[in-house]
Amino acid sequence: MSNFIDAIKERARADKKTIVLPESMDRRTLEAAEKILKEDIANLIIIGTPEEIEENGKGLDISGATIINPFTYEKTEEYLNLFVELRKSKGLTYEEAKKTALGDYMYYACLMVKAGDADGVVSGACHSTANTLRPSLQIIKTKPGVKLVSAFFVMVVPNCEYGDNGTFIFADSGLEQNPDPEKLAAIAACSADSFELLTQHKAIVAMLSHSTMGSAKHADVDKVVEATRICKEQNPDLAVDGELQLDAAIVPSVGESKAPGSPVAGKANVLVFPDLDAGNIGYKLVQRLAKAEAYGPITQGIAMPVNDLSRGCSADDIVGVCAITCVQAQAKN
């Protein structure tokens, strides 16, 4: 396990937050819960009926968690009324709210956070990204002043001299399909903030392309050039540059020859991909071929931390994402 995640766990322990795990129907969630409680990383709320917990938690000690059965919990009524209030402009009725929140625990989890009874949610082991994020956007909503919600992976590459001793943020690798220049600039700025929060080191942001500083001409390159311009204009203190090919972004000798004088080339630790195809393929290549730890997709831009998991995640991945969610929640307070 990397120093990165050890440091995150240490920070999580120092100021424990309450995280909701809605996927009691997935054994990996309960295996992760046992580890989180044992390592004292967070206070946990697990949503599920006694039957679900019994069936999926066989042989696991999750006695330290608060188990909430939404069908009998005394605050369910309060949460449902809150849901109706939040969605009244969309015409949500009490009956629909009840059917939705009790039929999909992710909605229930988001209502708990919105009501102030928890600090964050981690889900996605058996739900798609859309099914994890839709409830959070409907209930918790975006952070004030944030243009869009995006997603990143923290990549920790073993025995790697590039980036921040092998630690990188890859964005957007989980959510925004084909961002325009304004959105790409916003993703870069948000990802820099996330990098600095999680690593406590300075972010150096590369706007990636198949071109370096005009070496290729194409509308896709123009998009990245324009995004870089917007990002620099809006964030004058941020070390950001582009467009850069991947090797020019992270390998000092290549950066020096392809983009001499760039403050970022050869030193980048935040890699902003031009679209979701590139970002998703990129993180999976590094995860599988370099045997990197991949934590995410971590979301940024929601008013309270709600994090998605890859459906291929392990229990250890869930533990790591829970620890990251705690650190994000600490920053909110």
Phi, psi angles (nearest 5°) of residue 40: 60, 40
| pLDDT at position 29 | 92
Task: Give yes or no for a contact between 123 and 298, defined as CB atoms under 8 angstroms apart.
Answer: no
Looking at the whole model, is its pTM more than 0.95? no
Give the span between the Cα atoms of 333 and 264, in whole angstroms. Answer: 32
Q: If you average pLDDT over residues 71-86, what whole number do you get?
A: 95
pLDDT category of residue 2 using cuts at 50, 70 and 90: low
Look at residue 57 and tell me whether its pLDDT is greater than 90: no
Percent of the chain predicted with pLDDT > 70? 99
Give the span between the Cα atoms of 234 and 161, in whole angstroms. Answer: 31
Amino acid at 250: I
Sign of CA dihedral 9, 10, 12, 13: positive
More confident residue, 221 or 107: 107
The 3-state secondary structure of 211-226 reads CCCCCCCCHHHHHHHH
What does pLDDT average to over the chain?
92
Look at residue 235 and tell me whether its pLDDT is greater than 60: yes
